[in-house]
Amino acid sequence: MGERIRTRRSASVREPREPSDGRQAWARGYRTAPQSAFSPTAPLPLTRVKHSADRAPRDFDLSDVRAATVAAAREAASVATDALEPGDRSSPRTRIDPSFLAMLEAACIQAVDGGKQVRARLMLTSWSTLGKAQPPVDYAGAVQLAAALEMFQASALVHDDIVDGADTRRGRPAVHRSLETEVAARFGPGRAKTLGADLAILVGDLLLIASTTLACQAARAIDSVTANPILATLNQMRAEVMVGQFLDTLAPATPLRAFTASLEEAIAIAQVKSARYSVVFPLLIGALAAGAAPSAAEGIGRFGTHLGLAFQLRDDLLSVFGDRAATGKPTGTDLMEGKRTCLLAIARFRLPDRDRQQLESLVTAPAGPLGADVARALIAQSGAADVVEELIDSSRREALAALDALPLRARTAFEAIAVDLIDRTA
């Protein structure tokens, strides 16, 4: 099993680096003047990038996205209170404990710090390799859209960790746990757990607002023919994620069903909750930003659908069998929460009656770590992990076949991404 989920990195995958000369001024602007990354009225500190007419893939740097995201998170925490004049004794700002605002800012920055930036990479690769030599969205706008995707992801993770009762994220305490610790240190442990979750919900809401602001800021620099479909696609993505999360949260409370129905339901929820959101929509937004032809957008959509399913199936395996040191979060959380994954549906089908009944009893009631260990052993015994690996390989083949309709520059880039997303350990 461990051999099957080992990451294989392609030599063609480009690692983040320092911005090239053509983007140094723009990148420095985000890092030294973060208010400009969020303020709806402030001018953008950027250098316009000229695109080569030969249609080689456009260069991009994910560190620019991270800088824009952290800057927007910082500004989101202070945008309202910055409007209050601290020198005016009648201002509400003079009555606010500055350490509370510092706590809010730290929580916002923690939420967006780190991560693989999968959605930003997919969106910018699509923008970079598809469409016109002179795309309707320039580099600065593309980075803002990518940052909006990452900011939305951060918002969703903050809320998701509260729903799941997760203690860690990316190898550190989850945001609600960090706030719980902060509240306990300041005011005692009495209400710390409740307040930590309550405050984190508000942090997630604030990051959602920041995501919307970044997208709208990018749209203002684009003609409406391009901007309107991009914003509509973003809205569709957000709505689907919420519906998927609703169904995923409700699923553990519903009775287990027959194999076919359980597997079909698990795949449907995975598509809505994660596959389309994590892969399909970022690719489509990048294609729209590049001014791609409808045929290219259709091809990239098919690629994303199959890659997205493989991506989620890999997540299912890593949640049960992954190495905590690599994933940054405990294994077995899906089992303890009774998540209705494809892995669980296949394991139930393959186990003999007695073992199946034991597995079902473990996932239909809150299972602690010991129960999760027993469930993990039963799933391993069933051979379901190998079946899921076969599904992943099938999805990989379908995804790569969908690239045939795309230009060579796009095929090469997306083949490398497929390797990274499917054969990962975290």
| pLDDT at 44 exceeding the cut of 80 | no
The pLDDT value recorded for residue 332 is 83
| pLDDT at 100 exceeding the cut of 50 | yes
Ramachandran assignment for 18, one of left (phi > 0), alpha (psi -120 to 50 degrees), beta (any other): beta
What is the rounded end-to-end Cα distance, in angstroms, of the chain? 15
What is the share, in percent, of the chain residues with pLDDT greater than 90?
62
Greatest C-alpha distance within the chain: 74
| pLDDT at 88 exceeding the cut of 60 | no
Q: 359 near 343, Cβ under 8 Å?
A: no
**Coil, strand or helix: which one is 182?**
helix
Domain ranges of the chain: 27-422
pLDDT in tens, 249-290: 998 888 898 999 999 999 998 888 888 999 999 999 999 999
CB burial readout 48-84, b (16+ within 10 A) else e: ebebeeeeebbbbbbbbbbbbbbbbbbbbbbbebeee
Q: Residue 172: which H helix or E strand, with range?
A: strand 172-173
The pLDDT value recorded for residue 227 is 96
**Coil, strand or helix: which one is 190?**
coil
In whole angstroms, give the CA distance from residue 144 to residue 255: 43
pLDDT in tens, 343-361: 999 999 999 999 999 999 9
| pLDDT at 12 exceeding the cut of 60 | no
In whole angstroms, give the CA distance from residue 336 to residue 162: 15
Model-level pTM? Answer: 0.83
Ranges 25-39, 51-65, 187-201, 259-273, most confident = 187-201
The pLDDT value recorded for residue 83 is 55
Q: How confident is residue 131, by pLDDT bands cut at 50, 70 and 90? A: confident
DSSP 8-state class, residue 280: I
| pLDDT at 242 exceeding the cut of 70 | yes
Ranges 71-85, 197-211, 291-305, 363-377, most confident = 197-211
The pLDDT value recorded for residue 52 is 36
Q: 275 near 309, Cβ under 8 Å?
A: yes
DSSP 8-state class, residue 155: H
The pLDDT value recorded for residue 159 is 96
**Coil, strand or helix: which one is 287?**
helix
Mean pLDDT calculated for residue range 386-410: 94
The pLDDT value recorded for residue 18 is 36
| pLDDT at 108 exceeding the cut of 70 | yes
The pLDDT value recorded for residue 67 is 95
The pLDDT value recorded for residue 15 is 35
State the architecture of 27-422 in CATH terms.
Answer: Orthogonal Bundle (1.10)
